[in-house]
Amino acid sequence: MQSKSKLQLVSGAPTPLYTQLKDLLRGRILDGTYPPHSRMPSEHELCASFGVSRITVRQALGDLQKEGLIFRIHGKGTFVSRPKAFQNVTSLQGFAEAMSSMGYEIINRVLDFSFVPADARVAARLDIAEGDEVAAIRRVRLLNREPVSLELTWIPSPLARRLEHADLVTRDVFLILENDCETPLGHADLAIDAVLADDELTEALRIEEGAPVLRIERLTHDAAGRPIDFEYLYFRGDAFQYRLRTDRQRNGA
Amino acid sequence: MQSKSKLQLVSGAPTPLYTQLKDLLRGRILDGTYPPHSRMPSEHELCASFGVSRITVRQALGDLQKEGLIFRIHGKGTFVSRPKAFQNVTSLQGFAEAMSSMGYEIINRVLDFSFVPADARVAARLDIAEGDEVAAIRRVRLLNREPVSLELTWIPSPLARRLEHADLVTRDVFLILENDCETPLGHADLAIDAVLADDELTEALRIEEGAPVLRIERLTHDAAGRPIDFEYLYFRGDAFQYRLRTDRQRNGA
């Protein structure tokens, strides 16, 4: 096994050793030789198996970590990331709508649905008066039975009153708004950043405190341009990606 | 001071106490009473100042944390986030191009510019043969003198040979490609997720190990649809947002 491994790296080749090692390890991750969540061989073991220096191993592992294929847990070792689910956000779609077209099963755990007075921030975003009634919805979204996001949603009454008895467990708010409430959607503004999991996210998403979380603030407008749905979406960083395509805009020049 | 604060929260009002407290604290953050990076009053101090229960204070702080206005450091307290810079990615723009139009000064620290054989992944994305020559560029981008992102870029030769003597310190690769290399850009595919800072990111971005990082994988194509620029961009989660607008695509129905 060791001698076979050694044969696969060629010292003095135009491709540096660490690149060869990286490509070999990446291949083993992608073909399932090292399955998701399994522990990678230690630096020491990799040095011995491939007859290369520690600096070569570190450079290869560092690059694979940057690609998102492996991750380190301090004091425990290096582990294989699981393949990330992704949602294409080039056009505006609800989560279930986007994901079920790719063969995923989506179920929502509705933690809370209540009518509350809008706080200053929600009121400002939804262009209503502070204290006006809004529905506050708190859902965990499960992708193939595993929690992938926590979503906090505010929708102004009276529109929200029509959502009250809708099936929020299996249906997207977007589709309910369009199909049941006859409110066609227009555009949404998104802000995307990265935060760490707090207590609530830790519990809702079953991740460790301090795990990376992709945070989306999304304000969805109806076809007439009125804001009707304000949300914070928190996605597990280890399980999910947003993808999009953007085009270069030609300037006059 | 305390009695004045107490007057501002109204028990028994239609707006719950925690919402009133949250709105008041948010106002103080946004008007600079609590400046960026300052420590917020402790839970105990807030309870005493406003005559409210610990659960009310916790709920208000929890919501402000979810909005990204404050963050906790374990064992040290709660701090005010600084306002985040953002880049609108609805259309494809280089970082300097996007940010300088908003009045930011952008400087790049070029850590490395070297010609290397493409590894398997870079070759696959750029649609070239493994081992073909590419330029590997490693830059830290400074926004108003502070590091905001680490960018790893691969560009195939011979195109990259024309970048070798370009001014990468103040100019975007995108503008150099278009203006100096007469290579108009077309579209880019982006994948966005959240990761934790490793050693290299800690050092390059001057953040703590385990800080949240917004990670972008971007493949930029020329106007003819050929991939010409593959990148990993790592943005400080505490300092930066991506923003975009997406439109609902009308289905036939």
All residues of chain A having their beta carbon less than 8 Å from the beta carbon of residue B215 are: 68, 194
Its ipTM equals: 0.86
Instruction: Spell out the alpha helix ranges (H) of A67-183.
Output: 95-100, 120-126, 173-179
The alpha-carbon gap from A31 to the nearest alpha carbon of chain B, in Å, equals: 14
Which amino acid belongs to residue A217?
E
So what's the pLDDT on residue B5?
45
Q: What is the pLDDT of residue B123?
A: 96
According to CATH, the superfamily of the domain at B85-243 is Chorismate lyase-like (3.40.1410.10)
List the structure tokens of A41.
């061989």
A120 and B23: CB-CB below 8 Å? yes
Which among B192, B223, B240 is the nearest to A242, CB-wise?
A: B192
Give the model's pLDDT for residue A83: 86
Residue B54 has a pLDDT of 96
Subunit contact B92:A246, Cβ cutoff 8 A: yes
Residues A194-205 have a mean pLDDT of: 92
Indicate yes or no: CB of B119 within 8 angstroms of CB of A215.
Answer: no
Shortest CA distance from B187: residue in chain A? A247
Q: What is the pLDDT of residue A144?
A: 86
CA B17: distance to chain centroid?
A: 33
- How close are the terminal C-alpha atoms of chain B, in Å? 60
The pLDDT confidence band at residue A4, using thresholds 50, 70 and 90, is very low
In B66-184, DSSP assigns E strands to 70-73, 77-80, 85-88, 106-117, 133-143, 146-156
Q: Is the Cβ pair B246, A210 closer than 8 Å? A: no
More confident residue, B36 or A252: B36
Largest Cα separation within chain A, whole Å, is 73
pLDDT-based confidence at residue A50 (cuts at 50, 70, 90): very high
CATH fold of B2-80, please?
Answer: Arc Repressor Mutant, subunit A (1.10.10)
- pLDDT tens figures, B191-249: 999 999 988 999 999 998 889 999 999 999 999 999 999 999 999 998 899 999 999 87
Q: What is the pLDDT of residue B144?
A: 86
> Shortest Cα distance from A25 to chain B (angstroms)?
11
Using an 8 Å Cβ cutoff, are A170 and A204 in contact? Answer: no
Contacts of A137 (CB under 8 A, 6+ apart): A110, A112, A113, A151, A152, A153, A154, A155, A163, A168, A173
In this prediction, residue B11 carries a pLDDT of 80
Using the predicted structure, report yes or no on whether residue B1 has a pLDDT greater than 50.
Answer: no
Going by pLDDT thresholds of 50, 70 and 90, the confidence category of residue B250 is low
Q: Which of B62, B215, B223 sits opposite A200 (nearest CB)?
A: B62
Q: Please check the confidence at residue B16 and state whether its pLDDT lies above 50.
A: yes
Q: What is the chain A residue with the closest CA to B65?
A: A198
Distance between B2 CA and the closest CA of chain A, angstroms: 23
The 10s digit of each residue's pLDDT in B114-165 is: 999 999 999 999 999 999 999 999 999 999 889 999 999 999 999 999 998 8
Residue A50, min C-alpha distance to chain B (Å): 18
Contacts of A131 (CB under 8 A, 6+ apart): A117, A118, A123, B14, B15
Residues B39-81 have pLDDT tens digits of 999 999 999 999 999 999 999 999 999 888 998 887 889 999 9
Q: Residue B121: which of A62, A67, A187 has the nearest Cβ?
A: A67
Instruction: Please say whether the beta carbons of A167 and A142 come within 8 A.
Output: no
pLDDT band for position A68 (50/70/90)?
confident
**Are A192 and B192 inside 8 Å of each other by CB?**
yes
Residues of A in contact with B84 (CB under 8 A): 193
What is the rounded distance in angstroms from the CA atom of residue A229 to the CA atom of residue A153? 7
Per DSSP, B16 falls in state -
Distances from the Cα of B189 to the Cα of A48, A245, B227, angstroms? 39, 5, 10
Can you tell me the mean pLDDT for A174-180?
93
Q: What average pLDDT does chain B have?
A: 90
B252 pLDDT higher than 60: no
C-beta atoms of B192 and A67 within 8 A = no
Residue of A72, A119, A240 lying closest to B23 (CB–CB): A119
- The percentage of chain A sitting over the pLDDT mark of 70, rounded to a whole number, equals 96
Indicate yes or no: CB of A192 within 8 angstroms of CB of B16: no
| Confidence check: pLDDT of A3 > 80 | no
CB pair distance less than 8 Å for A194 and B237: yes
Is the model's pLDDT at A199 over the cut of 60? yes
The per-residue pLDDT of chain A, averaged, comes to: 90
Q: What is the pLDDT of residues A82-96, one digit of tens each?
A: 888 999 888 899 999
Tokens encoding A81 = 């990331």
What's the CA gap between B144 and B132, in Å, rounded? 37
Find the CB nearest B245 among A187, A194, A214: A187
Minimum distance, in Å, between the CA of residue A169 and any CA atom of chain B: 23
Tally C-beta pairs within 8 A across A and B.
201
Domain spans of chain A?
2-80, 85-243
- Of all residues in chain B, the one with the smallest CA distance to A243 is B191
Q: What is the mean pLDDT of residues B100-112?
A: 90
